[in-house]
Amino acid sequence: MTNMSQIVGQLRAEQHRLARQITTITSVLKTLGKASPNGTRVRRLSAAGRISIAAAQKARWAKVRAKNRKVVTIAKRSTLSAAARAKIAAAQRARWARVKAEDKAA
């Protein structure tokens, strides 16, 4: 009799284990059944939908470009008169003459 009750106990334990596995497999199949065959959802847009999205994106970029478009003005270069250039050249010659005189003295 002991052997028979042990066998029944083992069979019930096996039944519970198999029931848990079947529950797991069922839930996995439910989850996978909702997805498309390759595992990702496919979202289809009509041609009109794609055109409207493209037009909206072009309008957004046009707005951004319009804000960033700044006109840069280049300042006019000033020119020195001949007298000013002569004065600067004379000052520079005098500086170099002092440097050379200090080098000779040292």
Give the model confidence (pLDDT) of 11-43 as tens digits. Answer: 999 999 999 999 999 988 888 776 656 656 677
From CA 88, how far away is CA 40, in angstroms rounded?
78
Give the three-class secondary structure for 77: coil
In tens, the pLDDT along 35-78 reads 656 656 677 899 999 999 999 999 999 988 888 777 677 788 88
- Give the integer Cα–Cα distance in Å for 48 and 56: 12
Is the pTM higher than 0.75? The answer reads no
